[in-house]
Amino acid sequence: MTDAPELLEIRGLETYFHTDEGTTKAVDGIDLTVHAGRTLGLVGESGSGKSVTSLTVMRLLPELVARIEGGSISFLDQDLVRLPPKEMRKLRGDDIAMIFQEPGTSLNPVHRVGDQVMEAIRLHLGLSKEDAVARTLRLFEEVGIPDPERRMRSYPHEMSGGQKQRVMIAMALSCDPKLLIADEPTTALDVTIQMQILDLIRKLRDERQMGILFITHDLGVIAEIADEVAVMYRGHLMETGPVERIFTDPQHPYTKGLLACRPRLETRWRRLPTVSDYMEVRETEDGGRELVEKAVEDESVFDRGRGRMLHPPSKLEALGGYAAPDEGDATALPEDAEPLLSVQDLKVWFPIRKGLLRRVVDHVKAVDGVSFDVYPGQTLGLVGESGCGKTTTGRAILRLQEKTAGRILFEGKDVHALSGEALRAWRRRVQIVFQDPYGSLNPRMRVVAMLTEAMKIHGLGGDEKGRVERAGDLLEEVGLGREHLGRYPHEFSGGQRQRIGIARALAVEPELIVCDESVSALDVSVQAQVLNLLKDLQEERGLTYIFISHDLSVVKFMSDMMAVMNDGKIVEQGPSDAIYEAPREAYTKRLIAAIPDDSIANIRRRQADREAAAAKQTDAA
């Protein structure tokens, strides 16, 4: 395996951005090597320089602001830094291909997906239209797109996220590249779709003996796909090595922090470690930065906070024969406890209309008879794949989506019977934190206006001065500063914007918050910070959460009770620990099995499979 030929060799690469505000050293002197038939995992947080590295290799950075200041990029003995633009364009797609992070924005929405793949084939290989159609069909079959003949005629909006990512993979493979760069190809995908994509990339790598540069922030994914690992932080390489060594004996505190902060199903801690628990950044006398390791002397710090709060014993028994805990981390509520929210046989159906008169011929049953209770101070986790109905359920609870049937009771009162002032008062008590922190914030409003607007509507905070003062307090409560009040959303990172979204929800002093995939698009290190923040706020304010996610490990960490949804129905409901330890439904077992496994046993099994695949290729040759 170590004798595999070198495809890509990067030495001392420096990519700087020059703007009116100064120079940013996005990539500052890194060395990387990618071998044929092997995968190099490039891992780090947003802003570490991972994507800039890949775009530098592809020569896709804007030349007006981005410059390669030093170093070399060699691909099969060709100097990519000095390669003329015309030859570089031929190399892209032919020998080097790239899968971008977001397939929805990478595909042209006004062209059929088959035509987009055929365009690349005809441009680079010069095939006739008939041969390009045949090759595209074979590629669609190879990447596992069902009914490829029909799907070739589909537009991007008619396909799921996983199918669109498969189209991007087919496009990248269309000209048989020797090097594939995959930039966060599974971010925000369901865990089951993510595992399918990883399996597909592994299979194609071994069959085609491609070299892969796989970029991600998730070390769990790295454990499943990579042979070697390079860890980046603020443009620098922190450490490199074989995947097993990185996981068993990490040398740099940054790597240790990234490994620790990812929630795992077996985690018993009530708080997640973060990178800052293992490392701090100090200013040096010459104005630079140095990273200093911090020793975690007492891991009990991660076990602070309340334990799990379960339903009363009779309710646990009714959900499937679950017994009330008699000791340990969890406690059952008393029998006379009343739920804050009760959802009873909720249905949300969308009509399917056809014909000239647009008559209803059927319904899409997005939510089809869902029932659950949430008690004060409790967290209910709703988990399932995209399209299972969990987000529609959350929107229906908030009356952002009208129900078709069923009842939603808040403190015993039907929320759909509320109107006028009573409805306004109820809306203050129930808030939501959305999945996309950038899309949910008005780009033209400063933070102070976002936080004080809702206060003013609901008559909170006194006068304008009092509301601004309270807005500053909220920012400090979520880990930001008062100096951020005058800024716009684009001036913040993704994690900071999500904190602003949480502060906005807290501004009206709610009792129940629906968190809709609120950490799915965040780096694992930032995700850990936000999850800890939500737990702290719940303990301090007595908040009740409905936590919606496709990631069962995150839901299990956050939730007291868990409901697993599939095809608009709840297929399994009970204490989160019990569902993880002994899932009863095949669907739940499939969700758990799809979570990336970064155990040493699994890493060694993957490497053994790689050795076997390499030996098979050698024998075939």
Q: What is the pLDDT of residue 394?
A: 94
Number of Cβ atoms within 10 Å of the Cβ of 23: 11
In a 13 Å sphere around the CA of 26, the CA atoms on its Cβ side amount to 21
pLDDT at 393 over 90: yes
Tell me, rounded to whole angstroms, the distance of Cα 384 from its chain centroid: 14
3-state SS of 184-230? CCCCCCCHHHHHHHHHHHHHHHHHHCCEEEEEECCHHHHHHHCCEEE
Tell me, rounded to whole angstroms, the distance of Cα 205 from its chain centroid: 24
Beta bridge partners of 566: 569
DSSP label of 414: E
| Residues 6 or more apart in contact with residue 61 via CB below 8 angstroms | 15, 52, 55
The whole-angstrom separation of Cα 42 and Cα 27 is 13
Cβ(77)–Cβ(69) under 8 Å? Answer: no
Beta bridge partners of 513: 431, 545
Cα 89 to Cα 61, 94, 113, distances in angstroms: 13, 9, 22
Residue 270's Cβ-count burial label (10 Å; 0-12, 13-18, 19+) is middle
pLDDT at 442 over 60: yes
The whole-angstrom separation of Cα 177 and Cα 175 is 6
Stronger pLDDT, 48 or 229, i.e. the higher one: 229
**Can you tell me whether residue 579 is helix, strand or coil?**
helix
The whole-angstrom separation of Cα 566 and Cα 547 is 16
| Residues 6 or more apart in contact with residue 75 via CB below 8 angstroms | 7, 8, 9, 57, 91, 95, 96, 179
Q: What is the pLDDT of residue 298?
A: 65
**Can you tell me whether residue 292 is helix, strand or coil?**
strand
Instruction: Give me the chain's average pLDDT, please.
Output: 89
Beta strands at 308-310 and 330-332: parallel, antiparallel or unpaired: parallel
**What is the average per-residue pLDDT within 560-582?**
94
Q: What is the pLDDT of residue 621?
A: 61
Angle at 235 between CA 232 and CA 238, to 5 degrees: 35
Residue 613 forms part of a structural domain = no
pLDDT at 1 over 50: no
CATH of the domain at 380: 3.40.50.300
Among 77-91, 131-145, 534-548, 604-618, the least confident range: 604-618
- Give the CA radius of gyration of the chain: 26
**φ, ψ (nearest 5 deg) of residue 26:** -65, -40
464-477 and 494-506 helices cross at what angle (nearest 10)?
Answer: 130
pLDDT band at 527 (very low <50, low <70, confident <90, very high): confident
Cβ(245)–Cβ(237) under 8 Å? Answer: no
Residue 402 forms part of a structural domain = yes
Residue range 245-277, pLDDT digits in tens: 999 999 999 999 999 888 888 777 888 888 888
**What is the average per-residue pLDDT within 529-552?**
91
The whole-angstrom separation of Cα 370 and Cα 278 is 43
Residue 324 forms part of a structural domain = yes
Q: Copy the structure tokens of residue 161.
A: 């996220």
Tell me, rounded to whole angstroms, the distance of Cα 485 from its chain centroid: 27
Stronger pLDDT, 523 or 528, i.e. the higher one: 528
pLDDT at 2 over 70: no
Q: Copy the structure tokens of residue 295.
A: 């020793």
The whole-angstrom separation of Cα 527 and Cα 257 is 13
pLDDT above 70 covers a percentage of the chain that reads 98
The residue count for the chain: 621
Q: What is the pLDDT of residue 596?
A: 86
pLDDT at 417 over 60: yes
Cα 417 to Cα 129, 422, 425, distances in angstroms: 61, 9, 13
Q: What is the pLDDT of residue 584?
A: 94
Residue 59 forms part of a structural domain = no
DSSP label of 440: T
Residue range 83-118, pLDDT digits in tens: 999 999 889 878 999 988 777 778 899 999 999 999
| Residues 6 or more apart in contact with residue 460 via CB below 8 angstroms | 454, 467, 470, 507, 508, 509
Cβ(171)–Cβ(111) under 8 Å? Answer: no
CA neighbor of 49 nearest in space, from 10, 85, 21, 89: 10
Residue range 133-162, pLDDT digits in tens: 999 999 998 888 888 898 899 998 888 777
pLDDT at 296 over 80: no
Q: Which amino acid is at 121?
A: I
**Can you tell me whether residue 445 is helix, strand or coil?**
coil
Residue range 576-588, pLDDT digits in tens: 999 999 999 999 9
Tell me, rounded to whole angstroms, the distance of Cα 531 from its chain centroid: 13
**What is the average per-residue pLDDT within 16-20?**
87
* Residue 414 structural domain: 308-444+488-593
Residue 87 forms part of a structural domain = no
**Can you tell me whether residue 150 is helix, strand or coil?**
helix
Q: Give the chain's domain count.
A: 1
Number of Cβ atoms within 10 Å of the Cβ of 66: 20
The whole-angstrom separation of Cα 557 and Cα 564 is 15
| Residues 6 or more apart in contact with residue 247 via CB below 8 angstroms | 219, 223, 259, 598, 600, 603
Q: What is the pLDDT of residue 188?
A: 62
Residue 272 forms part of a structural domain = no
**What is the average per-residue pLDDT within 492-516?**
89
Residue 341 forms part of a structural domain = yes
Stronger pLDDT, 599 or 571, i.e. the higher one: 571
pLDDT band at 204 (very low <50, low <70, confident <90, very high): confident
pLDDT band at 35 (very low <50, low <70, confident <90, very high): very high
Cβ(79)–Cβ(71) under 8 Å? Answer: no
**What is the average per-residue pLDDT within 2-29?**
88
CA neighbor of 162 nearest in space, from 136, 142, 192, 120: 192
Residue range 325-359, pLDDT digits in tens: 877 788 999 999 999 999 999 999 999 888 888 89
Helix (H) or strand (E) segment spanning residue 606:
helix 600-620
Cβ(46)–Cβ(492) under 8 Å? Answer: no
Cβ(383)–Cβ(550) under 8 Å? Answer: yes
Residue 511 forms part of a structural domain = yes
| Residues 6 or more apart in contact with residue 540 via CB below 8 angstroms | none
